[in-house]
Chains A and B, each alone.
Chain A
Amino acid sequence: MADEQPAKSATALLVLGCPQVPVQTSIALYLINRLKKAGITPVVAGNKAANTLLVVADQDRHYLGEVIDLDRAIGLITDGKRTFDFCFVFIHNDAGVSYAATLGAISQAKLYGLVYGEHFEDQAKKIDFPCTVIAAKAVHNPLPLKKAIDEVAPWAA
C-alpha cells in the first residue's frame, strides 16, 4: 500500500464586513458554493451579526462550513496557527480596506478584495497594496457583484 498522504485541499478565508449592505450575505453564500464545488474549503470570519445572518440562513449547513469570530481569526493567522490559500475580504467602508490591508500583511494567502456598496469606487481607490480588486456598484441587488466575480473566477485560479 502506498504511503502517500492525500493532497490537502486548498482553503479560503472569507472575511465579512459590516452586514449593513444587503448583498454581502448573498454573495458570501454564492462564493462559498462556488469554492466548495471547486474543491476549496471555505472558512467564514465575521463579527457576530454578519456570522449569524449566514448561520440562520443555512441552518442545516448545506453551504457553510467553519464559521469563526473575526478577531479570533486575525489572532490565529497572526500567531501562525492558521493559514489559508485564498482570502476574500468584503469591503464597503474604510474598515473593510483596513482589514484587507491587514490580511495582506499577516497572511500569505492570495488576496481578493470584493468591493461593493454605494461608494465602491472611493473604497477601491484606497487599495494601494497587492490585492486583486473585484468591484461593482451593488447594494441591494447582488447580480452586478456576482457578474464581476464570475469574470475573475477566483475558484479557477
Chain B
Amino acid sequence: MGCVESMNYEIVLRDATFKESRDYIRGHFKESIDVQPGFKVFDVHVIGLPPIAIGLDGDFVIFPYTKPCHGTFLLRVEDKAEAARLRALKK
C-alpha cells in the first residue's frame, strides 16, 4: 500500500465498490466532506467517481483507498492535524 502501510490504520470496509464506500461514509458519519478525484488525503491521492466522500469523526479521518486488484478499502486513521485541515476546507 505504499505510504499507507506506514500509517496506523483500521480497515472499515474491504474489497468494496466505490459506491458502497461512499454510501457507508454518508450513512455512518455525521460529518463528511466531498472532494474531487486526485485530492490528497495524507499522502494518498484518492481515486473514484466524483464526488468522493471523506468522513470525519473527532480526530479520525475515514477515506477510500483503491487498489486495482482489491477494489476500494475504507480506512480509518487518527490524525488530529489532518482532520483539522479537512474540517477547515468545509468553511
Residues of A within 8 A of B (CB): 16-18, 20, 46-47, 49-50, 70-71, 74-75, 77-78, 93-99, 101-102, 105-106, 126, 128-129
Selected from A18, A101, A128, the residue in CB contact (under 8 A) with B48 is A101
Interface SS of chain B:
loop
A99 touches B47 (CB 8 A): yes
Residues of B within 8 A of A (CB): 2, 17-18, 36-38, 40, 45, 47-50, 66-72
A101 touches B49 (CB 8 A): yes
A98 touches B47 (CB 8 A): yes
Chain A residues contacting B68 (CB-CB under 8 Å) are 16-18, 46-47, 50, 70, 93, 95-96, 99
B69 touches A101 (CB 8 A): no
A74 touches B69 (CB 8 A): no
B47 touches A97 (CB 8 A): no
Among residues of B, the one whose C-beta sits closest to the C-beta of A93 is B71
B72 touches A106 (CB 8 A): no
Interface SS of chain A:
helix
Selected from A47, A74, A75, the residue in CB contact (under 8 A) with B67 is A47
- Shortest distance between the CB of B55 and any CB in chain A (Å): 18
- Shortest distance between the CB of A65 and any CB in chain B (Å): 21
A18 touches B69 (CB 8 A): yes
- Shortest distance between the CB of A111 and any CB in chain B (Å): 12
With A and B bound together, what is the CA distance between A129 and B47 in angstroms?
Answer: 14
18 A-B contacts, Cβ less than 8 Å apart? A18-B68, A74-B45, A93-B68, A94-B71, A95-B18, A95-B69, A95-B71, A98-B47, A98-B72, A99-B47, A101-B49, A102-B37, A102-B48, A105-B37, A106-B37, A106-B38, A128-B49, A129-B49
